[in-house]
Amino acid sequence: MKQDQDTRSSGFRPKQIYEQVADQIRAGIADGTYRPGSRLPAERSLAQRLKVSRPAVREAIGALQNEGMVVTRQGSGTYVTEQDEPPPAASAAEPAEADFSPNGALEVRLLIEPAIARLAARRRKRNLLAETYLSKMAAVKDITDPQQQALWSECDRLFHRQLAVMAEDALILKIAEEIARTMQQPLWNRLRDDGIYDPERIQLYVAEHRLIYEAIVSGDEGSAAFYVEGHLKRVQKDIATRE
């Protein structure tokens, strides 16, 4: 018990896989392996070289994009940006809080959100706020416009949270609120925005959200859970890779 308390008080935490990958790429930039203006190896090549999954590489690159260390150009690849100073060497035990892995968060959501949809379907009630979020998402036509992109992101996040409200269970809602917070993190936003960049894709997501909602309000537990699972798996696939 004393050892556990010491670990917590020290601020030490094990790094997620994507953080370790980002450290490796940062080290390559710092030592000149990846020079300013040069193109990073393809995600598949980096995954093979570092013996990790491609989603972990995608997350690492997303984190480095958020730091301004690299830039990804659609259809071209990821390039090292010009830096005034070399990046600091990463500490193996740095305590700074990092974003949750988006892929890891989706794995958790795949366990939890179908169950939330089933419970909401037992209540079999319409919900004005959920319908409002659906309408606002459907009205987004230009996902490249920052304001519409922000509107889409917020409505998507709040729609999933609202399903927990429809389940009418305080503990379920508390869990859903924690999930909703992960959907506000910069890395989640980066990967989602990179993966959803055309009008057809966002309209497909709207259609999937509508299927979830209509299954819930009609009391179809099985379909509600099935549609949630299918939607989350599509999101997982869309944000996992760019190539």
- The C-alpha atoms of residue 163 and residue 86 are separated, in whole angstroms, by 46
Q: Which two tokens stand for residue 10?
A: 């020290």
Dump pLDDT digits (tens) for 21-69: 999 999 999 999 999 999 999 999 999 999 999 999 999 999 999 999 9
C-alpha 209: how far from chain center: 17
Confidence of residue 116 (pLDDT cuts 50, 70, 90): very high
Domains of the chain: 2-80 (1.10.10.10), 102-240 (1.20.120.530)
How distant, in Å, are the alpha carbons of 22, 23, 178 from that of 93? 14, 12, 26
Q: Which two tokens stand for residue 65?
A: 């994009």
3-state secondary structure 135-194: HHHHHCCCCCCHHHHHHHHHHHHHHHHHHHHHHCCHHHHHHHHHHHHHCCCHHHHHHHHH
Task: Evaluate if residue 242 carries a pLDDT over 80.
Answer: no
The pLDDT value given to residue 7: 44
Higher-scoring residue by pLDDT: 89, 129: 129
Handedness of CA 102, 107, 112, 114 (dihedral sign): positive
Per-residue pLDDT, averaged over 10-29, amounts to 88
Q: Which two tokens stand for residue 192?
A: 């989602």
Q: Which two tokens stand for residue 151?
A: 């509107």
- The C-alpha atoms of residue 106 and residue 195 are separated, in whole angstroms, by 14
Q: Which two tokens stand for residue 190?
A: 């980066």
Dump pLDDT digits (tens) for 56-100: 999 999 999 999 999 988 778 899 998 765 555 544 445 468 899
Task: Evaluate if residue 20 carries a pLDDT over 50.
Answer: yes
Q: Per residue in 177-208, is it b (16+ CB within 10 Å) or e — as a string? A: eebbebbeeebbbbbbbbbbeeeeebeebbeb
Average pLDDT across the chain, whole number: 89
**pLDDT above 70 coverage of the chain, percent:** 88
The pLDDT value given to residue 8: 47
Per-residue pLDDT, averaged over 192-212, amounts to 88
Dump pLDDT digits (tens) for 137-173: 999 988 888 899 899 999 999 999 999 999 999 999 9
